[in-house]
Structures are given as structure tokens and as C-alpha cells.
Amino acid sequence: MRIFISMTAFAALFSPTHALAWGKTGHRVIGKIAEPFLTAPARAGVKKILGTETLAEASNWPDFMRADPAPFWQHDAGPWHYVTVPRSKTYDKVGAPPEGDAVTALQRFSSVVRDPKTSLQERQLALRFIVHIVGDLHQPLHAGNGSDKGGNDVRVTFQGRPTNLHAVWDSGLIDEAQLSYSETAAWLGARITPVETARWTITDPRVWIAESAELRDRIYPVEGAEKLAYQYVYENTPRMEMRLKQGGVRLAVYLNKLFGPPQGR
């Protein structure tokens, strides 16, 4: 299926109501962590499509393009950033809605990248989405429970500032450290052990979703404790860092498989 879009929307900023996973820094961290784990074929495949554009650069493009007024970005692509998995359910039990979700989009764009008949523009769009979606699915609130828009409706204060729970996980926890994306990626990447790398070699997005949903149900503040400060940062920063590290390794593993030899039946 061919995808035709405008590639020249560079003016508007995002609405604060949009649910953007990890924010710019988090997505870049995942892309940066992934790069050393790429195989030679995957590295060559990415370069053939993106040229000098790095995975960190590509990672935020689908969020940036949400400002494009074209129907593709304002209607079609919106549901591809998340999944909905109510508490005590699994993704397989719920399935994707008619308009699709992050899982169906990941499958779709993987097919586009593999198809030699697609144009370079189509493969660029597809690969950028793949990089972004893998990151999205490791943000726990992008496996939403279906009742509060992935935590966007959960009003909290974070370090004295009014916000919502989704924004805390998009950027609040990450920005609290006051590090650049490259510093964060370097620090986190250096802590990934060979044992963890082997354990995280999972390309099934349903596993990533189950992990996110399980974590999601542990990060909501209890009633009456919506003022999030240093204790929340202390408890949840290790969880956030774990998901960034896992997202980076999984992105590399997914791309290694995508650009590797065809899998036998």
C-alpha cells in the first residue's frame, strides 16, 4: 500500500493535549542506545534509507509531523502511537481497534521497509515510524488502560508545577536529571550488561506491551498523593531508565531482524 503525504510541514508546534511518548529527549535516548547494537546489515540498511540521519534524529519525526494539517497526520496516523489494554486484560484479548494502533502500524511499516517496490520516501516514513513506535511501546502510559487517555486526564503536580501523569513520564522524570540526550544515552548504555542484552532480545511487541501495562498499574499516585516530588522521582527514575534501556536494545534487535535474511516458515 502506497502512502502519500506532505513532507514540508515545519511551522506549527504540538498541542499540549497530544500524547507524545517520552518527549524529544527520551526518544532520542532510545535511538542513541540502539545504534551500537546494530548488526552490519542493519546499519547498512538504515543508512541506505536514512542517509546521514541517525536513529536519534529519526525518532521524533512522527511526533513533529503531527503538526501537518494533512488528513494523514491529523486523522490516520494518530492511533499509531499507542495501544489500549485495560487492567487484567492482555493485548491479544483486546485486539486492535478498526482504525489500527501501534502494533498494526509496526507491522504495516515493517512490510513497507521490506518491500523493494516501495519508494525511498515511503521507506523513510516507514523506518522513522518504526523507530518511534518501538520507543512508544516502552513508555508505560502508551499501553493505556482505556479510561484516562494514557494518564493525560490524571491531574498532578510535579515538583510544584501543575501537569498530568502522562507528561511526567513523557519528559518530567527524564528532564529532572538535566542531562542531554547524548549524556543520558551514554550513561544508561554503559550500564547495560551482556546478560541484560541477551534477556531483552525480544522482538514481539506484545511482550513489550505486557511489560508496559504491568508497570503502568504501579506508577499511578494513590488518591490524595497527587503532589509528586522527590519521593516519586526516587521511586520511578530506575523504572523509567530501565524502559529506556530496554527500548534501545529492542529497537536494535527489531532492526537487526528487519534488515536480516528472510525468516523461514
The parts of the chain modelled with pLDDT lower than 50 are 1-18, 265
What is the pLDDT, as a whole number, of residue 20?
61
Query: What tens digit of pLDDT does each residue of 14-65 get?
Result: 333 345 678 999 999 999 999 999 999 999 999 999 999 999 999 999 999 9
**265 occurs within a structural domain:** no
Residue 9: inside a domain, yes or no?
A: no
Give the Cα-Cα-Cα angle 88, 158, 222 (nearest 5 degrees).
35
- Examine residue 190 and state whether it is found in any structural domain, yes or no: yes
Strands 161-164 and 155-158: antiparallel
Please report, for the domain that includes residue 175, its CATH number: 1.10.575.10
Instruction: Tell me whether residue 204 is in a domain.
Output: yes
The answer to whether residue 14 sits within a structural domain is: no
For cell 532510545, name the residue.
30
User: In terms of C-beta distances under 8 Å and separation of at least 24 residues, what long-range contacts does 201-206 make, across chains too?
Assistant: 201/249, 201/253, 202/250, 202/253, 203/250, 203/253, 203/254, 203/257, 205/102, 205/103, 205/106, 205/134, 205/137, 206/90, 206/91, 206/92, 206/103
In a domain, 15, yes or no: no
| Domain count along the chain | 1
C-alpha cell at 247: 527500548
The confidence score (pLDDT) of residue 52 equals: 98
The pLDDT, as a whole number, for residue 17 is 37
Q: How many residues does the chain have?
A: 265
> What does DSSP say about strands 161-164 and 227-228: parallel, antiparallel, or unpaired?
unpaired
Q: What is the DSSP string of 11-23?
A: SPPPPTTS--SSH
pLDDT for 6: 35
Through-space distance between the first and last CA atoms of the chain, rounded to whole angstroms: 24
- Structural domain range at position 197: 23-258
Within-domain flag for 264: no
pTM comes to: 0.91
210 in a structural domain: yes
